[in-house]
Amino acid sequence: MEGLSKKETEIISELEFKEKYFFIVDDINKFYKNKAQRYNIIKNLIKKQRIVKLNKNKYYLIPIKARTGKWTENSFIVADEIFNGKDYFIGGWSAANYWRLTDQIPMRVDIWTTKRQGRINILGIRFQFHRTTKKRIEESVIKKVGEHPFRIQNNEITKKWMKSRR
């Protein structure tokens, strides 16, 4: 792993001090003079595996205490941050495991959304995106991991989904 420049260390230290592990570009505005410098700083931090891009404008900071650059976060929190808390819900085996309907630990997190579809691997977590409607999203419930809220398929719908899988 490459070493960090003085500017990169300042940015990481500032974000860690404020405990801002999920951040947007505006959170580090004071560290660069123009867009080109901002682009280069972010590109280098991604290359050095100190930040991970979650969506168009949101990033995750790998803490300094993760010396090798390997770090993990709760998959439900990462899913919520990818979608900025809107237009998604977690379902499938992840929801079944959350509601204790199965002891099976899911290999991926299934997310239903109106925005995207496909697969992505972030922080060692495999996410599978599926298309759905606004109506189905409204049927989901909001729960919390620690102090962080996330959307998950409600218990009754998850039970029905489980029965359809048998």
Task: Note the pLDDT of residue 166.
Answer: 67
Digit-coded pLDDT (tens) for 71-117: 667 889 989 989 988 999 999 999 999 999 998 889 999 999 998 88
Counting every residue written for the chain, the total comes to 166
Task: Note the pLDDT of residue 34.
Answer: 85
Average pLDDT, the chain: 87
| Residues forming a β-bridge with 125 | 122
Percentage of the chain surpassing pLDDT 70? Answer: 93
DSSP string, 61-84: EPPTT-TTS-----HHHHHHHHTT
Q: Distance between the two ends of the chain, CA-based, in angstroms?
A: 46
Digit-coded pLDDT (tens) for 55-64: 888 998 887 7
Alpha helices, H only, 24-154? 35-47, 75-82, 92-98, 134-138
Task: Note the pLDDT of residue 1.
Answer: 44
Q: How many CA atoms lie within 13 A of 109 on its CB side?
A: 25
Comparing C-alpha atoms, which of 114, 95, 113 is closest to residue 104? 95
Digit-coded pLDDT (tens) for 130-160: 999 999 999 999 999 888 899 999 999 999 9
Task: Note the pLDDT of residue 162.
Answer: 86
Task: Note the pLDDT of residue 12.
Answer: 87
Question: Domain map of the chain by residue range?
Answer: 6-61, 75-164
For the domain covering 6-61, report its CATH number. Answer: 1.10.10
Work out the pLDDT band at 37, boundaries 50, 70, 90.
confident
CB 62 within 8 A of CB 45: no
